[in-house]
Amino acid sequence: MQRSSRIALVASLCALIPLARAASAQEETSPLSDLRRLGHSAHGEAWDEGPRERPWRMEGIGSTHFPITTSVPEVQAWFDQGNTLLHSFWYYEAERSFRYCVELDPECAMAYWGLARAAGGRYGDERMKAFLREAVKRKANVTRREQMYIEAWEKAFVPELSGALEEIDPADRPDAFEELAKELELLCVEFPDDLEAKALHGLCALYASTRLSLESLFQELLAREPEHPGLHHYRIHNWDGPEGRVALDSCAAYGRIAWNVGHANHMPGHIYSGIGMWHEGAIWMDSATRVEKRYMQEHMVFPYNHWNYAHNLNYLAYIQEQLGMPAMALDAARQLIASGMPREDALARAAGIRLRPILMTTATAVLALLPLTIGADEAARLRSPMAITIAAGLVLSMVASLTVIPCLYLVLDRLRPQPLRPGHGPRSSAA
C-alpha cells in the first residue's frame, strides 16, 4: 500500500510538469513579465548596472587627449573625460562619460572599448565581454591605431571573441596585464608618438617590469606632458613602499592636478605613510575621504558604487591607529560599517565571489583523501574510516560556510542595533 502511494505521488508530480511549463510560458508573455523588465536597459544586461544619468563637465580631474574616430564631434570631449577618469581609477564616472558617447554616436567603437575598460579587467567579467564584443564588431570602421587598442584588450582578456580560440578556462590563461603590456609594446613601436599607449603600457607593466625601467619611461613622458595625471599616478604606484621618497614630487603634482579626485588625494597618503610621514599621510587620506563624501552627497552615489571611499576610510583608520588616535580610528570603522550595502545584497555578492574557491578547495582535499580509502590490506582498512570521516567533515563545513553561517549571520545581525545609514541621518561635516 505504501509503495503504491509513492508511485501515485510521483505520477501526480510528473503530470504537473506540463502545466507548470504552460504557466511559465504564459507568464513570459503576460503584462506582469513586462512589468518585471521595467528598469532594465533595452541594450542588454551589461547596461543594467552602472550610472544612468547624463555626465557633467568635471573640473579638477586633470586633462588628457585620446584622439578617436567618431561622426559626432562632441563625443571626443566626453571620451577624453572618461579616459582622464580612468587614469585615476574612477571607473564609475568614467563609465558615465563613455555611456554618453554611445548615446551620441552608437557606432563609435572606441566608446565601447572605454566601457569595457571601465567595467573591469577580470577574466570572466561578463559586462566587460559584452562591451568589448561591441567594440570588436565596429573596429573595421576606425584607424589602425584604434584597432590595435581594441585588439590588445581582446587578446589579453577575451581572445575567444575573435573566433580564433575556443572559450578558455580562467585557470589556463596567462596573466591578463602581462599579456596586455606585450600587446601595448607593439602599439608603441608602430606609433612611437602615442603618449597614451606608453602610459597604459607603464600601468600594465607595473608588477612585471623593473622599477628603474618604468621610472625612465615615466620621466621621458612627463618631460612631454608634465601635467598628465596618469603618469604621476602610475609613478606613485611604481614607488609605493619604503622607497617612496623617489616619487614625492609626483605626490605633490598629482594632488594639485586632480584635486577633485578622491584617489588623487589618496595615493600621496600611500607614499607618506610608507616612509613614516604619518601626519602628512593622515592629511591626504582625510582630504580624499572628504572629496569622496562631497561627491556622493552631491550626486546621490552610494559608497558601494565607489570602491575608493572604503579604501580611503580604511587606510585613514590605519594611519590614525599609528598616530595613537584610537577614537578616530574606531569612528572611521563605524562609518565603514554604516556605509555598506544591504545585508542580503552583500551576502549574495560575497557568496558569488567565494563559491568557486570554496568548492575547489573542498574538492581538492576530498580527492587527496581518496587514495586512503582504496586498498584491501589491513592498513587500508584502518585508514579508510579516518579518510571518510575527514572528507565528510570537509563537505559538511563547506555546506555550513555557504548556507548555515550566512543565514546565522543574517539572524544575529538583525538583532543588534543598526547604525545610521547614508541618507537617514545628519550630513557629515567632513563633506
Report the CATH number at residue 284.
Answer: 1.25.40.10
Q: How far is CA 369 from the centre of its chain?
A: 36
**Residue 186 domain flag:** yes
**Residue 43 domain flag:** no
The position carrying cell 591578463 is 176
* Same domain? 336 vs 359: no
Q: Tell me what pLDDT residue 29 has.
A: 47
* Same domain? 201 vs 230: no
**Residue 97 domain flag:** yes
Q: Which residues in the chain land under pLDDT 70?
A: 1-39, 121-124, 161-174, 340-354, 356, 375-376, 380, 416-431
* Same domain? 72 vs 190: yes
* Same domain? 76 vs 186: yes
| Total Cβ atoms within 10 A of residue 174 | 10
pTM above 0.85, yes or no: no
Using the 8-state DSSP alphabet, how is residue 193 labeled?
T
* Same domain? 202 vs 230: no
Count Cβ atoms within 10 A of the Cβ of residue 187 and give its class: 0-12 exposed, 13-18 middle, 19 or more buried.
buried
* Same domain? 103 vs 80: yes
Q: Tell me what pLDDT residue 161 has.
A: 63
Specify whether the CB–CB gap between 123 and 176 falls below 8 A: yes
> What is the number of structural domains in the chain?
4
How far, in Å, are 136, 184, 215, 265 from residue 191 at the CA level? 21, 10, 21, 33
**Residue 217 domain flag:** no
Specify whether the CB–CB gap between 423 and 297 falls below 8 A: no
**Residue 359 domain flag:** yes
d(CA 118, CA 46) in angstroms, rounded, equals 12
Specify whether the CB–CB gap between 106 and 119 falls below 8 A: no
CA atoms within 13 A on the CB side of 370: 7
**Residue 332 domain flag:** yes
d(CA 289, CA 278) in angstroms, rounded, equals 16
* Same domain? 283 vs 394: no
Show the cell assigned to 427.
550630513
* Same domain? 359 vs 319: no
Per the structure, the complete domain to which residue 17 belongs is given by: 2-37
* Same domain? 230 vs 332: yes
Phi-psi region of 334 (alpha: psi -120 to 50; beta: other; left: phi over 0): alpha
Specify whether the CB–CB gap between 197 and 205 falls below 8 A: no
The position carrying cell 599616478 is 233
State residue 210 phi and psi, 5-degree precision.
-85, 150
* Same domain? 334 vs 359: no
Q: Tell me what pLDDT residue 27 has.
A: 43
* Same domain? 190 vs 302: no
**Residue 288 domain flag:** yes
Q: Which of 161, 179, 209 marks a domain boundary? A: 209
The position carrying cell 547624463 is 54
* Same domain? 245 vs 305: yes
Q: Tell me what pLDDT residue 350 has.
A: 63
d(CA 219, CA 224) in angstroms, rounded, equals 9
Q: How far is CA 373 from the centre of its chain?
A: 43
CATH at residue 104: 1.25.40
Q: Which of 340, 366, 381 marks a domain boundary? A: 340
Q: Tell me what pLDDT residue 67 has.
A: 97
How far, in Å, are 211, 263, 315 from residue 273 at the CA level? 20, 15, 10
**Residue 264 domain flag:** yes
How far, in Å, are 102, 133, 138, 182, 344 from residue 164 at the CA level? 28, 14, 18, 19, 41
What are 372-378's contacts with CB under 8 Å, separation 24+? none
Q: Tell me what pLDDT residue 256 has.
A: 96
| Total Cβ atoms within 10 A of residue 416 | 7
